[in-house]
Every structure is written in structure tokens, then in C-alpha cells.
Amino acid sequence: MKLKHNKFKNTGILFELLTRQITADIMSNKESAAVDIVKKYFSRGELSKEYKLYQTLTKAISLSEAKAESIINTTTKLSERLNRSNLRKEKYNLIKEIKEHYDLEEFFKAKIHNYKAYAAVYNLIEAHISTEFIEPSFIVENKVTLLEFLTQQDVNKNKVEDQVMLEYASQDKATRALISKIMIDKFNEKYANLLPEQREVLKTYINKISNTVSLREYINDSFENIKKSLIELQDKVTDQRTQIKLKELSSIIKPLDKNESVKDEDILNILQFHELIHEIKTL
């Protein structure tokens, strides 16, 4: 499921439009109803609290990627504390009051500086509190937008995608199953069809990712089995150069130390070893 950005419910955009309206009213020498509206809804209550979260994510720029990532995670986490029922009521009443004083179509026509950043904040907060399964690609897309805004430079989308996948992998069993399928589909797109052994590796990686000890044991067992297969193949192949290469590969396979954590590189190595073994067996 993908959420849809709604500018009528975006607290950051609502505040920006109201402050612009105040300026327009003053320039037109009119008493501005927007002044009282801002005081009423943004000085206290849940709208005021949520706006502070938007400020945190849109006022800080030129941060390091690590700092930006930390701020995004902390802010979305803090959004859980808001009373969603009261917030919905306040937004409803706010729009109703704006409508009483201004033409809504004209009010929302104004171009907003940093519109994409505001939209990304809205989408990430709504995705974070959603009880529905949100497609990882939606999270990645909005996180990249916000990270690039906060750092003022391009970010590695693949890196963000990997981080999001790891976050999803730590969730409940049903979510992990969906992520496992997504990751396998993604890997299929990049590397064509996966072998059954490779599928099993990815599924196990997703299911055990939150259990460091169990995952490390599985990886070490995989390395041991791969090493045995490579040694067995040395006696079966007739090409001397292939024999030497297999011997070299089997000698460099080492189990992870008990204090080592499993890295993406370990998973990739296992997948590649399975591919190699398959290719040699089918010669």
C-alpha cells in the first residue's frame, strides 16, 4: 500500500499558507483573520506539537547524512506521542475556519517553498503511524527526498533502501514474509532467476536478522557446507586450473568469530558461492 500526500492535512503546509495569507492581508491593508487562526491552532494543542516536528525536519539544513538520518528517525518516533483523534479534530476545525474567511481554492493555490520536503515529512509520519503495510519503496522515495533536503546533496538510494529493508525485517512475522518476497523479487530483477539455495539464504536472513546469534550460526553452517562442496568438486572436475581455483576458494572460507556480526558482504558471498557451485556442477 502507498499513502497519498494530502496538502489539506499537511500541518507544515497549512502553517506556511496561513503566514503567507497574513502577509497578503497586511499588504492589502486588510485586517487578517489568519492572525487569530494561527494563534488559536498553533500556540497549543496537538497541531502545535506536530508543527514543531515539521519545523525540526525542515529548518535544519546542510547536516551530515548520519545526523539527518538520526533526526528523521527520532522525529517520526516522537509523532507516536500525538493524540491522533484530537489532531484530526483540530485539523478539521482549522480547515473549516479557514474556509469561513477565505476561498479555499485560492488559499491553496500559493506555491510553497520546500513543498517536496513538507510532503516527505507528512508521508513519513503517516507511514510510521499507519497500521497498514506500507510499501518499502514509498518509504525509500520520501526518505531520500528528505535526506537530500537536509544534507543539501545527493544520497545513495540503494543504501537508504537497504536500511529501510533492515528496519522492516525486524518487524512481525507477516511483515518479514512480505519483505522477504520483495527482496527476492528485487534480487531476481538484478541477477535473473535465483537458485533454490539462494532463495533459502535470503529468507533465512530476513527471518533471523533480529537474532544475531542464530543468524551467525546459520551463516557459519552455510560456509561450512559450501567449503565441503568445493572440496568435493575438486575431485570431480578434470580441468587443473579449475581444481586449483576451487582449492584456493575453499581455503579462504572462514567462519565468523563469535563477536562478529553478519554483514551484507557475507550474504552476497554465500549467494555467489552457490552460483559458482551450480555452474560447475552443470558443466
Residues 6+ apart with CB under 8 A from 114: 58, 149
Q: What is the DSSP letter of 9?
A: S
Query: SS3 for 150?
Result: helix
Is a pLDDT exceeding 60 seen at residue 135? yes
Residue 114, sorted as left (phi over 0), alpha (psi -120 to 50) or beta, turns out to be: left
In the block, cell 516527505 appears at 120
Q: What is the pLDDT of residues 27-85, one digit of tens each?
A: 888 899 999 999 999 999 999 999 999 999 998 888 999 999 999 999 999 999 999 99
On whether the CB atoms of residues 165 and 179 are closer than 8 A, the answer is: yes
Q: What is the pLDDT of residue 183?
A: 60
166 vs 126: CA distance, rounded Å: 20
253 vs 282: CA distance, rounded Å: 23
The percentage of the chain sitting over the pLDDT mark of 70, rounded to a whole number, equals 89
| pLDDT level of residue 132 (50, 70, 90 thresholds) | confident
| 253 vs 175, residue with greater confidence | 253
Q: What is the pLDDT of residue 78?
A: 95
- How far out from the chain centre does Cα 158 lie? 11
| pLDDT level of residue 106 (50, 70, 90 thresholds) | very high
117 vs 16: CA distance, rounded Å: 13
190 vs 226: CA distance, rounded Å: 23
Q: What is the pLDDT of residue 210?
A: 64
Three cell numbers written together for 232 = 568435493
Q: What is the pLDDT of residue 283?
A: 72
Nearest Cα neighbor of 2 from 139, 131, 128, 118 is 139
Q: What is the pLDDT of residue 92?
A: 96
Residues 6+ apart with CB under 8 A from 112: 13, 16, 17, 118
Nearest Cα neighbor of 18 from 97, 77, 126, 121 is 97
Mean per-residue pLDDT over the chain, rounded: 86
| 179 vs 214, residue with greater confidence | 214
| pLDDT level of residue 158 (50, 70, 90 thresholds) | confident
Overall average pLDDT of the 116-142 stretch: 90
Is a pLDDT exceeding 80 seen at residue 91? yes
Q: Is the pTM of this model over 0.75?
A: no
